[in-house]
């Protein structure tokens, strides 16, 4: 029963949205833990987890949504997104970084339905402007039809040192709104980030990529042949009784590497990557500082996230209180405090 899929009956999708849902989110401990990672939590107190918000954002844009997650989290993912076909929730035996997860999805998509355009969008990001996001994805799909790998770059709002940067080059002939990537830059120091914003022409690297599956796997054949061959072997076995044996044999041999280092940076150097800059109200919710940025303070200046009890702030500016299940939390004498409360732990 675990290998039943409707892939033979479903029409070939034009655009497949892939959601890599991995990682632990250790900077958000004790909220996010290995058995309950941040993408499975209603981290913002909005009645939906980050994964559920991501699926809801992508479902209107895509013929099909494919999720790649860890084997230990597959059951929880299925429980949270009942509208996603269980056959389209792919479980990794162990983390091998973003390139293996995205390549596995590309290989399975292409094996099931033939070449398609796919986009990869992480499960732990939040976007305020869904309409702007939809427009950016549509532009990226159009650009990907010409054979480019396309990334959606975030127009920076501050000289952040938390993100990598994309140098925006010349505009493409078509579509309007897409540009050649001149270069990717690793997370800069504060002075470099400030200089980038002053000069203009840079976008944050949000790790969103849109490409034809054949293009993505073709570049991988050249640059990471072991990984490319491995995911194709796994894809051929995925909907058969040989899946588990093939995974156990092949998955540990795949190179552990990010998509930035495996493809984006070297292919950009060859002139094969485009960028669609966009202002989306985007955040990568990776730490408590970002969590505070995406939350509004109350009348007392307290940032309250999923906390429904009293908060007392004395000589304390902008405290952040997360969780707590009705407990009274007092912050006295220091600013920008973070208090995260769960049933079994308290972080200050």
DSSP 299: T
Write out the two tokens for 35.
């058995």
Report the pLDDT value the prediction gives residue 6, as an integer from 0 to 100. 46
Q: Could you report how far apart the first and last alpha carbons of the chain are, in Å?
A: 47
Report the pLDDT value the prediction gives residue 11, as an integer from 0 to 100. 55
* Segment 74-86, tens digit of pLDDT: 999 999 999 999 9
Give the chain's residues under pLDDT 70: 1-12, 24-26, 29, 31-33, 292, 294, 306-308, 316, 323-325, 343-344
The Cα–Cα gap between 216 and 219 comes to 5
The 3-state secondary structure of 10-57, one letter per residue: CCCCCEEEEEEECCCCHHHCCCCECCECHHHCCCCCCCCCHHHHHHHH
Write out the two tokens for 196.
């980038």
How far is CA 75 from each of CA 9, 46, 89, rounded to the nearest angstrom? 25, 22, 10
């Amino acid at each position: 029963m675990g290998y039943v899929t409707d892939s033979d009956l479903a029409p070939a999708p034009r655009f497949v949205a892939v959601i890599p849902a991995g990682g632990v989110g250790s900077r958000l401990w004790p909220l996010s833990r290995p058995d309950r990672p941040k993408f499975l939590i209603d981290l913002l107190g909005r009645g939906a987890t980050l994964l559920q918000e991501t699926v809801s954002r992508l479902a209107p844009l895509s013929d099909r949504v494919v999720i790649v997650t860890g084997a230990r989290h597959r059951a929880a993912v299925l429980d949270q997104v009942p509208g996603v076909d269980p056959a389209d929730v792919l479980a990794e035996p162990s983390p091998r970084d973003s390139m293996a997860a995205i390549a596995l999805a590309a290989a399975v998509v292409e094996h099931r339905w033939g070449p398609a355009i796919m986009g990869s969008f992480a499960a732990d990001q939040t976007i305020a402007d869904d309409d702007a996001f939809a427009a950016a994805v549509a532009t990226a799909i159009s650009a990907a039809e010409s054979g480019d790998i396309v990334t959606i770059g975030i127009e920076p709002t501050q000289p952040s040192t938390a993100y990598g940067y994309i140098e925006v080059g010349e505009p493409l002939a078509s579509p309007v709104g897409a540009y050649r990537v001149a270069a990717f830059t690793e997370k800069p120091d504060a002075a470099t980030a400030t200089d980038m914003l002053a000069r203009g022409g840079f976008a944050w690297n949000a790790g969103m990529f849109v490409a034809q599956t054949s293009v993505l796997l073709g570049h991988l054949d050249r640059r990471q042949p072991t990984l490319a061959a491995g995911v194709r072997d796994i894809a051929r076995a995925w909907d058969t009784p040989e899946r588990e044996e093939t995974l156990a044999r092949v998955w540990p041999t795949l190179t552990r590497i990010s998509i930035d280092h495996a493809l984006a940076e070297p292919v950009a150097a060859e002139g094969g990557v485009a960028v669609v800059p966009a202002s989306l109200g985007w955040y990568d919710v990776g730490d408590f500082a970002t969590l505070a940025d995406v939350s509004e303070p109350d009348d007392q200046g307290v940032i309250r996230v999923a906390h429904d009890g009293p908060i007392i702030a004395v000589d304390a500016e902008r405290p952040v209180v997360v969780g707590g299940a009705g407990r009274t939390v007092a912050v006295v004498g220091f600013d920008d405090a973070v208090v995260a409360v769960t049933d079994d732990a308290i972080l200050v």
